[in-house]
Each structure stands twice: as structure tokens, then as C-alpha cells.
Chains A and B, each alone.
Chain A
Amino acid sequence: MTSHETALDLAEPSQVKWRQCAVTAGRIGLAALLLGAWKLGADAAGPVYAADPIKVLQRIVSDTASGSLLRHIYVTLRLSAIGFAIGCACGIALPFLLRRMPRLTNAVEPYIMASVGVPKYALVPLFILWFGIDDAPKLWLVGLLVFYPIFIAVFAGIRNVDRRLIDMARVAGASEAMISREVIWNSLLPFFFAALKIALPRAVSAAIIGEFLVGNEGLGYMIESSRQSFDTTGVFTGIVVATALVLVINAALVRIDRRLNAWRPVERHMEV
């Protein structure tokens, strides 16, 4: 339990409980409202343009039973995970390497920042041309989209480290490797987690878009092939499942963040 939660519990327990109940009730009410709006909109638009939420639920159940939905989820998650791991590893490693070479950093920084502006999705045709039609072009897309937010956050985090803590660690006999691992890594963890909140959903989105264009499996493929056969319910099912995946990943991330950053004095209320 974090100190913040303890503090909240100490302050007027009944009031706190009431407030929490109100928030939960509000959330459920909002969800019901959105679902109702979806149902009404779907009825008004007709089955060609929008799928009925009840049919989407039925489709999720039937596709799960047949195993095809789980297979698509597995393929997309696998692609996202590998692409994410590559992009994330590079996004962490590069700033740590550049830290040791300030002059090189100054030289390459404008080029790295300029490359942020290149629309990555526009590169997919080139990736297909260069890397074929297997996983490789999709991994490049996912990797690049994950790389930038991580790189920028870790880079900024390293610059933000308190010099006095580094000096203290040096005087205490820490080697450069230990300083990187202990002082710098822990100092930039909050930055890193902020970037993860952008990068993780992006990895799934990028994998789905990659699958629109290449391949014959995965949620992206499922959405695109449903569209081609005028199966609007299939498209909506894909979108709902992809959204649910991202929400689950985010919830896991928030938990890990809370655990790793438990030392921080202020709990953040921004948990998107």
C-alpha cells in the first residue's frame, strides 16, 4: 500500500468510500450511455455501416469458441511484443551510448529530431520492398513507432538527472556502469513510464496497420478481410478486441509503474 493511499484512508473513511462509490457509479453509467448510443447509432445507420453491439458480442463468443479469434490475437500480440522489444531496447540503449559522447550527440541530435517528423506509416511500402512480405516490414514499423517516444523520453530523462547525485555516487566509489544502472536509470524511470504509456498502445496499433497491408493472419488482417467481404460486424469485432487488448496492457503497465515508482512522494492521478 502506498503512503498516499494510507493518507486517504486516514481522512474521513466514510466520505472517501462515498466518493469512490460515486466515481465507480459514474463510470458504469457512462459505459452504459456509450453502449446505448452505439446501439442507437447502429440501428439508425443500418448494418452495412455500423455493427450492432449485441452482434459484435455474439461474434466475439463464437470466434473465441472456434479458436480463430485467439489465433489472430496471438499473432498480433507476438508481432507487437517483438517489435516493441526491439524498438524499446534501441530507444534505451542509444541515449545511454550518446551520454558518453557529448560532441557526437550535439552533431547527430538535429538529424534524430528531424527524423521524428518522417511519417512512419508512409515508409511501409519501402519496408515491403526492402524486407519482403514476412514479419520483417511489420517489425520495422512497430519498432520505429516504439523507438521514438522511448528514445526522446530517455534522452530527456538522462539530461534531467541531478548532477549532485552523480557526483555523490562517484565520490562513494561507484563505477560509470553502476552510476548508469543505479542513479541514471532510477532517475529516468518516471520519464520512461510516461513514454511507455504512449509506446505500448502504439505497438499494437502499428502491428494492426502492418497486418492491413501484409500477411494473412492477425487482428489487422481480420479487420481488413472482413471489410473486403462487407462484414461490418467483423470489422467492429476486430476494433473492440484491439481496444480491449490495449486497455489490458495499460492496466498492467499502471500496476508495474505503481510498484517500481512506489518511492515517489506524490501519487499521480493521471492514469490513462
Chain B
Amino acid sequence: MAVPPLLEVRDLSKRFATRAGRDPSSWVIQQLSFSVHDGEFLTIIGPSGSGKTTLLNMLAQIDSASDGEVRFQSVTAPINDPKALNPGLSCKIGYVTQEDNLLPWRTTLENVLFPLTVQGRLNEQTRARAQMLIGAVGLTGFEKHYPHELSGGMRKRASLIRTLVYDPPVILMDEPFGALDAQTRTQLQEDLLRLWNLGRKTIVFVTHDITEAIALGDRTLVLSKSPARIAGEHRNAIPRPRDIRGIMTHQDFPALYQSIRAQVQ
């Protein structure tokens, strides 16, 4: 008997509301279908402007779809009804956005503890977990710094562990390392894989970098230009634990890279 997918997207379409005096907006996403299985690391790659962020916003229920179906643990998300949305699906889906979105009036530690505070789950054990994560991503000593006193990479790490700290079963990531230099990016990718190995969550990771998509994912989906559809699907059998820095030298890498490259427009 096949296990039903954890997250299922079927014929998903999205267009934004029109404003007076403008032509109706074209479809950003049209008839998109895919599914994500429990414990899977799925990477989604697509050209910029292909609706990747819009797709994640709909999965996180920050935004509602215009048509189609999004089903998580057999519960369907409301369609075309922003008020009925349940952002984060009661803390079951975490979302690391493209911008760090740290609260500027909270220190690093307070930002990391924010989800635990609002969920009423702040105790000795969760505090210790927060400290462990702060150590794991090298933010020890910066607990009392405000976001504007941190570097871009540090803010990204803080925003990443702010989601990891409350341990949601699914985590969506929207080009979280997009704006970083290559060195920091590799470091964070290694951090992420290490943390993922500790807990084996389900991750949907959006990027525009083919190497990153191959280095991290179990499976890679390629999105077409807007309106986004699935242009291709690639299983990635490179064994774990992976060597991020040496991923390009793995024997499977060139073929995988070539076939993804051919589909990314």
C-alpha cells in the first residue's frame, strides 16, 4: 500500500487581483501539480519571476490560490478566500522567507525565541534547544545583538534557526542563501544539511542555483517561465552524507546538472 504524500499540490493556479484601469493580470502559476513525501528534501528551481515565492506563500497559507488544490495531511487549503487561511497551518509548516524578517527591536536570542514565546512553549528544554542551535550556526556571543548589528549572513542564520527552533514537521525555504557570498553560502548549506540530518524533516527548498539544488535535494523540480508549470523532475541519488564543497566532483553530478540546465530557461 502506497503512503499518501504529506503535501500534495494539484492543478494549482494563481493570478493576482486586478486593479481598476489595468488589464486582468496574467497567470503567475498555472495547472501546477506535484507532491512532497514525509522526510523528503525537495528542491525547486526556476528562473526569477517564475512564481516560486508565490508558490511557497500558498503552501504556507499566507496567500490563497485562485484555482486547484493544496492538500496537507489530507486537509485542503481554502481557495480564493484569504480570510479563511491558516498561516503556517497551526505551526506545522515553518517558512524561512527570502528576507530574514527579523524583528528589529528584538535581540538575536529574543528573535530566535519569538515563535516559542508566542506559542507558549518557552521552557528550560526549548531554551536549551535555542542555545544549541545558536551554537550550531556560530552565533554564540551575538545573542544580545540587534539585527542591524549583525552581518547579512548572521541575520540569515538567525532567521533559519528561528524556524528550526520550534521544530515544525515541514519547512519551506525561499532562496534563503540567495544574497550571500559563496563562502558563507556553502557554510550555511553545510549547517542546514547537518541540522536536517539530526531531525530529518520535510523540506521544500526554492532556489535559482542549479548546483545548490543538486547539493541539497533528494529530488529537484524545474519550473518553467511564468506562468509556472513543472518543466521537469529529477531524482538525485547522490548518497548522504554529502560533501557540499566537493559535490561537483561526484560522478553523478555532470549528467544531473546538464539535464536540469537544459530545462531551466
Contact = CB atoms under 8 A, between A and B. Distances in A.
Interface stretch (A27-35, A162-170, A227-235): A162-170
Interface residues on B, range: 20 to 34
Dominant SS among interface residues on chain A? helix
Contact of A172 (B104, B146, B166): B166
A3 B149 contact: yes
Contacts, number: 62
A175 interface: yes
A168 B146 CA distance: 18
A89 interface: no
A8 interface: no
Interface residues on A, range: 20 to 34
A178 interface: yes
A178 B119 CA distance: 10
Nearest to A168: B101
A237 to B, nearest CB: 43
A182 to B, nearest CB: 7
A175 B118 contact: yes
A42 interface: no
B90 A170 contact: no
B103 A165 contact: yes
A265 B60 CA distance: 31
B115 interface: yes
A169 B103 CA distance: 9
B149 A172 contact: no
Given A3-B149, A178-B118, A182-B118, A170 B62 contact: yes
Interface string A213-228: 0000000000000000
Q: Which of B88, B90, B146, B148 has the most CB of A within 10 A?
A: B88
Contact of B88 (A164, A170, A186, A263): A170
A53 B114 CA distance: 57
Interface in A152-173: 162, 164-165, 167-173
Contacts of B93: 171
A239 interface: no
B60 A172 contact: no
Contacts of B115: 172-173
Contacts of B162: 172
Contacts of A189: 105
Nearest to B100: A168
Q: Which of B60, B101, B106, B115 has the most CB of A within 10 A?
A: B101
Interface in B150-191: 162-163, 166
B99 to A, nearest CB: 6
Contacts of B78: none
A3 B88 CA distance: 36
B154 to A, nearest CB: 15
B205 interface: no
A173 B90 contact: yes
Given A167-B62, A171-B88, A172-B119, A263 B94 contact: no
A183 interface: yes
Interface in A171-225: 171-175, 178, 182-183, 186, 189
A162 B97 CA distance: 14
A94 B106 CA distance: 26
A205 B114 CA distance: 42
Contacts of A173: 88, 90-91, 115, 118-119, 166
B95 interface: yes
B227 interface: no
B87 A170 contact: yes
25 contacts: A167-B97, A167-B101, A168-B101, A169-B114, A171-B62, A171-B87, A171-B95, A172-B88, A172-B94, A172-B115, A172-B119, A172-B162, A172-B166, A173-B88, A173-B90, A173-B91, A173-B118, A173-B119, A173-B166, A182-B103, A182-B118, A263-B105, A263-B146, A263-B148, A265-B104
Interface of B: 60, 62, 87-88, 90-91, 93-95, 97, 99, 101, 103-106, 114-115, 118-119, 146, 148-149, 162-163, 166
Q: Which 6 A-B pairs have the closest CB atoms?
A: A171-B88, A170-B87, A172-B115, A174-B118, A265-B148, A173-B91
Interface of A: 3, 162, 164-165, 167-175, 178, 182-183, 186, 189, 263-265
